[in-house]
Structure formats: structure tokens, C-alpha cells
Amino acid sequence: MRAFTGFQVDRDGVAEILNSPELGAHIKALAEEVATGARSQSHRVTSGELLPVDVLHDPAPDRVGYTVAIKHPGMGMEATHGVPTRAAEALGLDVRGIDTRRGT
């Protein structure tokens, strides 16, 4: 049974929203909040410096995008400590990916 009859998605309108500067600014601000939360966990690399957490402009062909990245040769910070995942969840975001809750 169809939930909506006569409903059509305005694909051009949706594309306009997904590529809009307003949405881009909102997504970037949210990514910056996640990065700040990740930095505030105060993890350090072996040199003693704080773990480098950056926000990168990472658009897809059909939408604006930003990535919170740990620029360190150790993806282990996500796998071991869940640095960006925990920061995003603290903001109430639903994060899917590596399960950081096991054994922590």
C-alpha cells in the first residue's frame, strides 16, 4: 500500500537545498563543533603534541559535505578511543561506523 498518492519528489529542489550555501554553512559549523569536542578530549600523539583534528571541505557530487579528520598515521585513535564519534554523539548526532563502545 502506498503511503502517499500523488506525491512527487522535486529532485531539482532537493538538489538545490543539498548544494545550498546555507546548508553548507550549517554543516561546516556542525563539523567544527564535532572537531572542537574531539580536540577537547586532549588525546596526545607520541611526540606529546595534541592530536591534530581538522575539518575538511569534502563535497560529494550531489551535496555539500565536510569531514572531521584526524590527520595522524593512526586511525587507531578512532578505533581505540572513538575520538570523533564520541564528540559527535555528545552533540546528539547519530553516528554509524566503527563501534567504539566494545571494550571501553
pTM: 0.67
Q: Domain map of the chain by residue range?
A: 11-91
Q: HEC string of 28-62?
A: HHHHHHHHHHHHCCCCECCCCCECCEEEEECCECC
Element of type H or E holding 73 = none
Q: pLDDT tens string for the chain (104 positions)?
A: 466 778 888 999 999 999 999 999 999 999 999 999 988 988 777 678 888 889 999 988 899 999 998 876 655 666 566 777 788 888 888 776 545 555 54
Residue 62: DSSP 8-state:
T
